Every structure is written in C-alpha cells, then in structure tokens.
C-alpha cells in the first residue's frame, strides 16, 4: 500500500508544507512567505506565534488540497534560530532570534577570552542566554527553549512534547553539547546561566515522538532533522565520497564521514565544521560542512541592483552569449568569505575588466565565481576529512542553471548530479518520516530512490589548474578589505 507523508520545511524567509509519496515525489506544495525582521543593523528576529500559525495554515491547506490520509509527518527546519516560551501558557516570552542575528558578538568574544571556547553568534547558546538576561519578569516561570523544529513539534501537539533531534541540538548548531554530541556541556550551560530544565529531550531523527493533534487525523510526527542534513539524505548522500551542495541564498556543502565523533569543539583546520548528519537508534553518524556566505545573493545583485538581468533564470541565457568571461573574475564575497578562510572583512571583487568587457562577461564571471567558491568548499572538506569526493549532488534555487552546473563541474573536476527537485530537503524529511514508521526498512533504501534530473561531467578541454590559480590570486585581492571585521574569529 502506498504511503504519503506531510513534510513541513521551514526556512529562513518562508515555509513549505508538502505532500510527498513513498517514491519521494512531491504531489502538492503550499508555500508561505515569512521573512524575518531587522529592527536594527545586525538584529534578525521573527514572530514565533506567526510562524506557528502560518505553518498550521499551510499544513491544513496541503492536506485539504491533496486529500487522503498521510502516514506520518516529517519536520525539517533552519538551524540554530531560537525560541523561548512559557511551558504553562505556551506563549513565547520574547522575539524569536534568527540564526543570522549578530547581537551576541561580544558574548562570543568574551567566551573565547575567558575559556578559549570557539562560539559563533549564529549558534543558539548566546541567543538563549540573551533572551534569559534581557526579558523582564522571567523569575519563577517554567520556560522551554527550542530551535524551530522543537517549537513546531510543540505547536502541532498542543504542548504535549518538548523534543529536538541530534542534528538540531548538535554542538555545531547550538554550542551546548559536548564534542561527541552525547550530552549537554555543563560548563557552557553554567557560564551562560542556562538551567538544563529549559532544554528539550534529544531524540532520533526518525521515529514517532507524538501525534499532531492540531491537524486533521492527528498523524504521527515521525521525523525531525536540520535542513542541510535532510538535503543530504534527500539526495542519498549516505556514504563517504558522495557530497551534496545546496545553493540558495548562501551555499552549504555537506558530506558523510562515518561514525567516529570529533574529540574537540572547534572549527576544523581547513575551515569546515564537524556535524551530526543523522541520529538513529540513539547513535550519531558524522559528517563535515563547508559554508559559503553568499551564493544566489550574487545573482540577485545582478538582477535587483545592477539590472543586468531581468530574472535570475536569465543569468544562464545572458552568460551563454559569450564563450568565456575573457579574463574577468568575480569573487562572491558580498557578506565576507566563509570556508575555508572565514574572513568577515572580505568583500565582493570584480577583476580583469577591459574596455571590451560586456554584460555577458560579467554575468558569466559571477556564475563562475560561485562555482569556484564551491570548489573551495570541496577542497576544504577533503583536506579536513581525508574523504575524496567523487560525486557532488546539487540542489537549491541555483541548481537548474546549466551554466552554473557546468562551471561547477569544471572548477571542482567532479561529476555533478542535479537533484530532480530543488526541494531535496523536503525529500529527505519525507524519507526519514517513512523510516520512522517502518515504510522504509533501512537508511540504504533512499539510494534506490535517487534519480538525478541530469548529470554533468567536467569539460576535458578546461584548464582547471590555470583557472584555479587565477582564482586564488583574486581571493587574495578580495580579502581583508575591512581589517577590523577580518580580525573577528568565531
């Protein structure tokens, strides 16, 4: 009998409720915009109540418009964004603080100076501490902390469960667990004044944790997972050598390394982070993640600010009007550089312009620059893990762009398989939900469901060594444009 799943995929600027079949095909999708607010520079907040209401609205609409029972619910969400609510009333005590929020930079610097802890402002621990310290009248109240998955699970069950999984509660995401992810880190909780009673129960990524009584039929919630980990599973990257690359507003490269946990809480030498890829039967599988701070943002810049293209899809058509960028190189560092350099003071750089440079050259250079940044992530991941990546599986909003995909294959020297849907995260959460109720028998079943939209190989005539050499020269010129920001190290 065919099973269907409801997936709630909650991102930074919007959320999706999708009905997915047991071949991981999306039957129906509801989307709701929900961008965060920025009341002051560096602050990123959201209304947790509104987020919960939108999620319920989208879920009910999906169930109504694709009628028929669903066997289970999978929840996958942006990571590290923080909500604190009253356990008795279920009401948030303050604003939700988004993962991009920078208000706690000082607290991160102090933690480094006093304890030699590497804590970044995007992690949950300083966000939680800030809410506890800056929200009035909290004394004596029974409070809950959660990332978005925990808050939505609480909402769906009318407050019956307070849980999160091992990917959302990892040290990489929250800064609150010990290096191997087995328990909370008491020294860190004590330093930031966090009572362990606030924290959720950590559960497997697949398995029934409660029933969504706020939805018709009360289907079981059978999967919780961070968005990048769900994308990894959705593209069947479940063995070393396979990596997934998600290119949306930013970019994330993730790969599996195995069951050996890290022994230290720190960024790896080449700039990637160790993170759990999933938790099953109480055990964590581990991987590495490389981060590009701006990917699709650069195409939006071409479209919205320079008016060189009318739509994001036009970037391919315009770039195809020239055979090469004719020496023009673009470094996509609009927000600084992530892996491997982690230079927050770097800035976007356009080099090699001549009187003969035309619009197609610049558009092509931007796409090639994104591809080269992806190659940086691949090289860093291999250096940090020793895993040679033989195939990259690509999803996200930029994945349908043929020029970008070919540039990525050329820059990395690696075969690229493009996801059959840009919503690989949704596929992964659906698979985990099916695994959680026994519709799939083992994690390896997801490999049988992988069917890429297209596969692209490196152009054999492309001089990769020369191109990468010129790229590294351009990176040097883009770096440390704002030395004070470049000096920050999280």
Q: What is the pLDDT along the chain (490 residues), one digit of tens a residue?
A: 689 999 999 999 899 999 999 999 999 999 999 999 999 888 999 999 999 999 999 999 999 999 899 999 999 999 999 999 999 999 999 999 999 999 999 999 999 999 999 999 999 999 999 999 999 999 999 999 999 999 999 999 999 999 999 999 999 999 999 999 999 999 999 999 999 999 999 999 999 999 999 999 999 999 999 999 999 999 999 999 999 999 988 999 999 999 999 998 889 999 999 999 999 999 999 999 999 999 999 999 999 999 999 999 999 999 999 999 999 999 999 999 999 999 999 999 999 999 999 999 999 999 999 999 999 999 999 999 999 999 999 999 999 999 999 999 999 999 999 999 999 999 999 999 999 999 999 999 999 999 999 999 999 999 999 999 999 999 999 999 999 999 988 8
Angle, CA of 82, 83 and 85, to the nearest 5°: 155
pLDDT at 404: 98
**155: its two tokens:** 């909402």
Alpha-carbon distance of 220 to 259, in angstroms, equals 29
Alpha-carbon distance of 374 to 369, in angstroms, equals 9
Angle, CA of 254, 257 and 261, to the nearest 5°: 110
Buried b (16+ CB within 10 A) or exposed e, 150-171: bbbbbbbbeeebbbbbbbbbbb
pLDDT at 1: 60
pLDDT at 461: 97
Alpha-carbon distance of 336 to 278, in angstroms, equals 29
Q: Please name the residues in contact with 365: beta carbons below 8 A apart, sequence gap of 6 or more.
A: 325, 328, 329, 330, 350, 352
Strands (E), 88-219: 96-97, 143-146, 163-165, 201-203, 206-211
Alpha-carbon distance of 339 to 374, in angstroms, equals 9
For residue 288, the SS3 value is strand
pLDDT at 41: 85
Alpha-carbon distance of 450 to 173, in angstroms, equals 28
CATH superfamily of 4-227: ATPase, nucleotide binding domain (3.30.420.40)
Alpha-carbon distance of 269 to 36, in angstroms, equals 33
Where does the chain hold its CATH 3.30.420.40 domain(s)? Answer: 4-227, 236-418+460-490
pLDDT at 253: 98
461 backbone dihedrals φ, ψ, rounded to 5°: -90, -5
First to last CA, the chain: 50
How far is CA 383 from its chain centroid?
21
**258: its two tokens:** 């195995």
pLDDT at 489: 84
CATH of domain 236-418+460-490: 3.30.420.40
Alpha-carbon distance of 460 to 233, in angstroms, equals 31
pTM of the predicted structure, to 2 decimals: 0.94
Q: Provide the 8-state DSSP code for 258.
A: E
pLDDT at 42: 87
Contact status, residue 262 vs residue 244, Cβ threshold 8 Å? no
- Count of other CB atoms within 10 angstroms of residue 239: 12
């Amino acid at each position: 009998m065919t099973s269907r799943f409801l997936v709630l995929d909650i991102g930074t600027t919007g959320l999706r409720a999708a009905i997915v079949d047991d071949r991981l095909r999306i039957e129906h999708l509801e989307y709701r915009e929900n961008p965060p607010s920025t009341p002051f520079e560096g602050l990123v907040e959201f209304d947790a109540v509104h987020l919960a209401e939108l999620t319920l609205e989208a879920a009910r609409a999906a169930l109504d418009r694709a009628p028929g029972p669903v066997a289970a619910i999978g929840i996958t969400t942006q990571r590290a964004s923080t909500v604190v609510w009253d356990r008795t009333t279920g009401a948030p005590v303050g604003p939700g603080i988004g993962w991009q929020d920078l208000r706690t930079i000082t607290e991160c610097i102090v933690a480094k100076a006093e304890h030699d802890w590497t804590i970044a402002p995007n992690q949950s621990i300083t966000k939680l501490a800030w809410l506890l310290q800056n929200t009035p009248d909290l004394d004596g109240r029974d409070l809950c902390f959660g990332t978005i998955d925990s808050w939505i699970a609480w909402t769906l069950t009318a407050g019956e469960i307070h849980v999160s999984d091992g990917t959302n509660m990892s040290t990489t995401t929250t800064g609150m667990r010990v290096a191997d992810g087995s328990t909370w880190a008491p020294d860190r909780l004590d330093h930031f004044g966090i009572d362990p009673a606030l924290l959720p129960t950590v559960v497997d990524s697949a398995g029934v944790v409660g029933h969504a009584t706020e939805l018709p039929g009360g289907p079981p919630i059978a999967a919780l997972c961070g968005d990048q980990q769900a994308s990894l599973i959705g593209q069947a990257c479940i063995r070393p050598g396979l990596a997934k690359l998600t290119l949306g507003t930013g970019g994330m490269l993730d790969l599996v390394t195995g069951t050996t946990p890290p022994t230290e809480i720190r960024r790896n030498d080449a700039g990637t982070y160790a993170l759990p890829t999933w938790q099953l039967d109480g055990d964590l599988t581990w991987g590495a993640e490389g981060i590009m701070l701006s990917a699709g943002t650069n195409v939006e810049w071409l479209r919205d600010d320079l008016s060189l293209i009318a739509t994001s899809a036009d970037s391919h058509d315009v770039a195809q009007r020239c055979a090469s960028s004719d020496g023009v190189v673009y470094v996509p560092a609009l927000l600084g550089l992530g892996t491997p350099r982690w230079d927050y003071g770097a800035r976007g750089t356009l080099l090699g312009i001549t009187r003969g440079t035309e619009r197609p050259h610049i558009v092509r250079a931007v796409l090639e620059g994104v591809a080269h940044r992806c190659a940086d992530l691949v090289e860093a991941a291999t250096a940090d893990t020793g895993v040679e990546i033989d195939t990259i599986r690509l999803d996200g909003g930029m994945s349908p762009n043929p020029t970008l995909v070919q540039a990525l294959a050329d820059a990395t020297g690696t075969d690229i398989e493009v996801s059959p849907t840009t919503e690989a995260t949704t596929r992964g959460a659906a698979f985990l939900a099916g695994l959680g109720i026994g519709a799939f028998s083992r994690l390896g079943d997801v490999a049988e469901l992988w069917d890429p939209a297209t596969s692209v190989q490196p152009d054999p005539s492309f001089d990769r060594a020369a191109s990468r050499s010129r790229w590294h020269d351009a990176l040097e010129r883009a770096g440390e444009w704002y030395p004070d920001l470049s000096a920050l190290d999280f």
